[in-house]
Amino acid sequence: MHINCPVIFMGLLRIMMPPKFQLLAVLAFGVAVLLIENQIRKLEESREKLERTIARHEVREVEQRQTHDVVKDWPALAESDDQVIIYNRVPKTASTSFTNIAYDLCGKNRFHVLHINTTKNNPVMSLQDQVRFVKNVTTWKEMKPGFYHGHVAYLDFSKFGVRGKPIYVNVVRDPIERLVSYYYFLRFGDDYRPGLRRRKQGDKKTFDECVSSGGSDCAPEKLWLQIPFFCGHYSECWNVGSRWALEQAKYNLVNEYLLVGVTEELEDFIMMLEAALPRFFRGATELYRTGKKSHLRKTSEKKPPTKESITKLQQSDIWKMENEFYEFALEQFQFVRAHGVREKDGELYVLAQNFFYEKIYPKVN
């Protein structure tokens, strides 16, 4: 039989107390109920905290047992030491600045850095070279963990039937800014290797003069580079103005790259890589902010283009497509950053882990 305690209590009040005291008794009873409910809520919160603590402890025990089993039964590389990163760097996107970070950190963080030097800087490998490269990256244990970088188009490792795919990262830049930087780089070089003779050395024509005269080095077709680098080793990727190539480049950026940053926000890109891949990039953010090499490479004699030159290039369909890809990459990067970092007192900081495991079964003995 169900007994309604509050009803009985109120009945007793009417029998045992004068009316003038009944209101005070009801208020006191209500306060007591609220205090009891508050205590129950605190007990529930304490129970949830205890469950989370127990869950974390169980996870650590499982991880320790698995690590012990791996070391005992599989004398191979640890998972983090088996990683390979490929940075198929697009020319004139601050790629040398970023690569210098890897070179500065490789000794301290104990990984290898390898430059992919292709003949005449051809970004498209022959089929036989693709096979050789894939085999090298996946089986060259002495070079693991490894950071490969070079001006090479994206290569889909899944086509070659290998186990384990590398981690792809990259950086993109505003298309016109990238072309202007490359134009002056071919003529005047940079302060990274100032004594090196460049292909167009001696040509003093400015970028604006090139655009106004319809020169080939500043033609809209020269903008077509970031899309094919992300599109890859398909013939259609290198057909200037291909809508299919643009869509394939977008697909690869979202599905095949861990992170794609932008030149204009390079420090944020490095900060996020350090948070995601500390095995390689621990200390990268501080090094970028304070180091000398990371800021070394600057194109010499570069003059910003006039509005007239920019407007003329922006009239082309090629610029519209390359800019669409850049804006797409920028949006993806800002989305990832918004969910990974916060700003406080004008400084960005990486968010701590925001998930945990619980209700793990079967229970650890």
The secondary structure of 209-270 as a DSSP string is: HHHHHT-GGGSGGGGTTHHHHHH-SSGGGGSTT-HHHHHHHHHHHHHHEEEEEEGGGHHHHH
* Average pLDDT, rounded, for the chain: 85
Mean pLDDT, range 257-273, rounded to an integer:
96
Q: If DSSP codes are grouped into helix, strand and coil, which group holds residue 140?
A: coil
CB atoms within 10 A of CB 3: 6
Q: Comparing C-alpha atoms, which of 196, 202, 250, 255 is closest to residue 227?
A: 250
More confident: 194 or 321? 321
Q: What is the pLDDT of residues 37-60, one digit of tens each?
A: 888 888 877 877 776 677 666 556
Distance CA 196, CA 205 (A): 20
| Domains of the chain: residue spans and CATH | 84-350 (3.40.50.300)
Give me 272's structure tokens: 């996020």
Lowest mean pLDDT among 64-68, 198-202, 253-257: 64-68
Residue 76 class from Cβ within 10 Å (0-12 exposed, 13-18 middle, 19+ buried)?
A: exposed
Distance CA 69, CA 67 (A): 5
Q: What is the pLDDT of residues 181-230, one digit of tens each?
A: 999 988 876 555 555 444 565 578 999 999 999 999 999 999 999 999 99
Lowest mean pLDDT among 63-77, 83-97, 237-251, 297-311: 63-77
Mean pLDDT, range 347-354, rounded to an integer:
85
CB atoms within 10 A of CB 334: 13
User: Quick one: pLDDT at residue 12?
Assistant: 56
The residues that are catalytic are 149, 151
Residue type, 365: N
More confident: 353 or 70? 353
Mean pLDDT, range 114-130, rounded to an integer:
96
The percentage of residues in the chain with a pLDDT greater than 90, rounded to a whole number, is 61
pLDDT at 249 over 80: yes
User: Quick one: pLDDT at residue 318?
Assistant: 98
Q: What is the DSSP letter of 341?
A: E
